[in-house]
Amino acid sequence: MAPSATLSPAPATTAQLNIGSLRLGAPVVLAPMAGITNTAFRRLCREYGAGLYVSEMITSRALVERTPESMRLIRHHPSETPRSIQLYGVDPKTVREAVTMLVAEDRADHIDLNFGCPVPKVTRKGGGAALPWKLDLFRAIVTNAVQAAGDLPLTVKMRKGIDSDHLTYLEAGRIAEDAGVASIALHARTASQFYSGQADWDAIATLKETITSVPVLGNGDIWTGADAVRMVEQTGCDGVVVGRGCLGRPWLFGDLAAAFQARAGNLTADEASAATARPGLGQVMAAFRRHAELLVEFFESEERGCRDIRKHVAWYFKGYPVGGELRAKLATVESLQQLDELLGTLDPTVPYPSEGVEGPRGRAGTPKTPALPDRWLETRTLASDEQATLAEAEVNSSGG
């Protein structure tokens, strides 16, 4: 197929990505999002696209202790292949045990480690995005995880660093590469930025220049297929990780796959444009309804599933003419029957509104001075008194 003038593909480009032994049909990863990327949402997203769909973060200690919640979170539906689980941990031994358990019990095809959490209650104890500052600890966690993973691809996801004066991503990237990870993903913000401002795609380019033996994945502020291709072209990264852009828009994964097919010359720009989702209200309602059903299945409880779908209401209907009163009712929905009654009052023939649908959504926030343990920044190795504090950094919190 002739490539079009507007989406000129680089000649050697393919629309695939290999992460270790995994062969992905698109260089696209669903970003792990706590409270969001459970099997229900992953299944829905996967139905539209290709790539890798990562679980929400699971703490290694809870997994080793086999808490009922962590055992639920690691479950996959048979349609989910490859199965991908994100772990978070601060202790090399516990992380090793958690990875060993996942491998021995054949519960995953890919494991990612999270080093990006900016939540103060985590960084205050030295966990999350504060952890890679302690290079020896970071190295020990990643090395133990890679060894325990064996043939399973083990990857890392991190932020640029603690703040602009305390960047960690290049050193951490090199350490991870040496330790044998299968890819490195960078959310191009510091912890102090939370989700504010714009992701620094130049940092992704710098990481790509630094890491030569495994794929580098770029993350931050991809809202459309065109954004994803632009990130790859601007930074040279091997693939993209997409989070907030797909909230309430699972079909974004179809747009992303089409955009990369066009870049590879397998689709013309017109074909890619035709493949781009422009869902009318009826299609949004159907996806929202299906998401609710899948959540009910995941929680094995209609009440819990309906409670969980409430947080997605504003994202699904963003930009669509759905009144405040109806939104409020949907945001307190208690049963699928009630949900159907509420959706029944909407006009499914309302067309795609374009504006307001494709831009930023989800968390934003404002920059803050990161909370850290006392004297954390004074040394790059973990002091013995910091060890005890760190043990408390493995709390179940939501974040990256």
Ligand X SMILES: Cc1cc2nc3c(=O)[nH]c(=O)nc-3n(C[C@H](O)[C@H](O)[C@H](O)COP(=O)(O)O)c2cc1C
The binder of ligand X chosen from 50, 57, 186, 330 (CB under 6 A): 57
- State in angstroms the smallest separation of the CB of 316 from ligand X: 15
Q: Is residue 312 close enough to count as binding ligand X by CB under 6 A?
A: no
- State in angstroms the smallest separation of the CB of 71 from ligand X: 17
Stretch that binds ligand X, among 28-36, 76-84, 209-217, 278-286 (CB under 6 A): 28-36
Provide φ and ψ at 200, rounded to 5°.
Answer: -95, 90
> Could you say which residues in the range 346-365 bind ligand X, by CB under 6 A?
362-363
Stretch that binds ligand X, among 91-99, 162-170, 282-290, 392-400 (CB under 6 A): 392-400
Q: Is residue 367 close enough to count as binding ligand X by CB under 6 A?
A: no
For ligand X, the closer CB: 141 or 285: 141
Residue in 117, 237, 246, 306 annotated catalytic = 117
Q: Is residue 127 close enough to count as binding ligand X by CB under 6 A?
A: no
Binding mask 70-99 for ligand X (x = CB under 6 A): ----------------x-------------
- With 0-12 / 13-18 / 19 or more C-beta atoms within 10 angstroms meaning exposed / middle / buried, residue 192 is buried
Tell me the number of residues near ligand X by CB under 6 A. 25
Return the amino acid letter for 21: S
The binder of ligand X chosen from 20, 32, 92, 215 (CB under 6 A): 32
The binder of ligand X chosen from 15, 26, 34, 184 (CB under 6 A): 34
- With 0-12 / 13-18 / 19 or more C-beta atoms within 10 angstroms meaning exposed / middle / buried, residue 397 is middle
Q: What is the 3-state secondary structure (H, E, C) of the chain?
A: CCCCCCCCCCCCCCCCEEECCEEECCCEEECCCCCCCCHHHHHHHHHHCCCEEEEEEEEHHHHHCCCHHHHHHCCCCCCCCCCEEEEECCCHHHHHHHHHHHHHCCCCCEEEEEECCCCHHHHCCCCHHHHHHCHHHHHHHHHHHHHHHCCCCEEEEEEEEEECCEECHHHHHHHHHHHCCCCEEEEEEEHHHCCCCCCCHHHHHHHHHHCCCCCEEEECCCCCHHHHHHHHHHHCCCEEEECHHHCCCCCHHHHHHHHHHHHCCCCCHHHHHHHCCCCCHHHHHHHHHHHHHHHHHHHCCHHHHHHHHHHHHHHHCCCCCCCHHHHHHHCCCCCHHHHHHHHCCCCCCCCCCCCCCCCCCCCCCCCCCCCCCCCHHHCCCCCHHHHHHHHCCCCCCCCC
Binding mask 150-169 for ligand X (x = CB under 6 A): -------x------------
- Determine whether 306 is an active site residue: no
> Could you say which residues in the range 208-227 bind ligand X, by CB under 6 A?
219-222
CA distances from 44 to 41, 83, 334 (A): 5, 14, 21
For ligand X, the closer CB: 279 or 362: 362
For ligand X, the closer CB: 252 or 346: 252
Q: Is residue 119 close enough to count as binding ligand X by CB under 6 A?
A: no
Residue number of the CB closest to ligand X reads 400
Enter the tokens of residue 152.
């399973």
For ligand X, the closer CB: 197 or 236: 197
Binding mask 173-212 for ligand X (x = CB under 6 A): --------------x-------------------------
The binder of ligand X chosen from 36, 172, 203, 204 (CB under 6 A): 36
Using alpha carbons, select from 346, 276, 343, 360 the residue that is nearest to residue 309: 343
Enter the tokens of residue 143.
């090395």
- State in angstroms the smallest separation of the CB of 362 from ligand X: 5
Q: Is residue 396 close enough to count as binding ligand X by CB under 6 A?
A: no
Q: Is residue 114 close enough to count as binding ligand X by CB under 6 A?
A: yes
Stretch that binds ligand X, among 31-39, 101-109, 141-149, 287-295 (CB under 6 A): 31-39
Q: Are 195 and 172 in contact (CB under 8 A)?
A: no
For ligand X, the closer CB: 310 or 329: 310
- State in angstroms the smallest separation of the CB of 25 from ligand X: 20
Binding mask 224-253 for ligand X (x = CB under 6 A): ------------------xxxx--------
Enter the tokens of residue 310.
């409430």
Catalytic residues: 117
Binding site for ligand X (CB under 6 A): 31-34, 36, 56-57, 86, 114, 116, 157, 187, 219-222, 242-245, 362-363, 398-400
